[in-house]
Structure 1
């Protein structure tokens, strides 16, 4: 029996998210929350870097045929992340510096390579 495409995509996404989390933790960040959901959208990883709250969008691309992982975080996605982050900060009553990072993953040498872009975009 074949695995449905959506289940396979979810599995790959979860593996990429696990890899990104491990990578970021090994670079000194601490996990606050994973897969935060609200009416504005979802934030893959919410982490702490010193005093800063870091909202991390994890993107996996098996191929660059339709554009790379970094390019997929377009203005529309950024707007959803900004609204979700503002909701999180209000909900948790946090008044701390925040930034938006992207962890872009792609297959490399039988594993996954992580490209970490700190402060990938700003609130307008």
Structure 2
């Protein structure tokens, strides 16, 4: 299992422990990818997972670019349309630096 997969597994477990329900992972489109898709009550939650083994370059939290946020929004919109889902959604970030997990709800 590669580092990215390990990070996503940790993030999924963490979110499930906090009451979210897993729906899908690694949903890919030519214009973007969705790491995790979860449900939190009525919200569909699109989770970007960032993992860093050290914080030399600002750590995991600083690794989400504006361009990447736009691609995630586009992919989420496409997913909702494709699945015929009409519900509120939000975009969260799980940042994992070594074993420390930060959960940013409604990050963008």
Bigger Rg, structure 1 or 2: 1
Q: Which segments of structure 1 move beyond 3 Å, counting only runs of 4 or more?
A: none
Question: SS at the partner of 2:2?
Answer: helix
The aligned residue for residue 6 of structure 1 is: none
Q: Is 1:30 the counterpart of 2:17 in the alignment?
A: no
Aligned to 1:103: 94
Runs of 5+ in structure 1 lacking a partner? 1-9
Pick one of 12, 21, 31 that aligns with 2:12.
Answer: 21
Three-state SS of the structure 1 residue aligned to 2:58 is: coil
Unpaired runs of 5+ in structure 2?
Answer: none
Cα distance in 2 for partners of 1:37, 1:25 equals: 22
Query: Of residues 55, 59, 67 in structure 1, which corresponds to 2:50?
Result: 59
TM-score by length of 1: 0.84
The 2-side partners of 1:34 and 1:74 are apart by 20
- Other-structure match for 1:45: 36
Aligned residues: 108
The answer to which of 69-78 and 52-61 deviates more is 69-78
The aligned counterpart of 2:75 is 84
Q: TM-score, normalised to structure 2's length?
A: 0.96
Q: CA-atom RMSD, angstroms?
A: 1.0
C-alpha distance in structure 1 between counterparts of 2:88 and 2:104, whole Å: 17
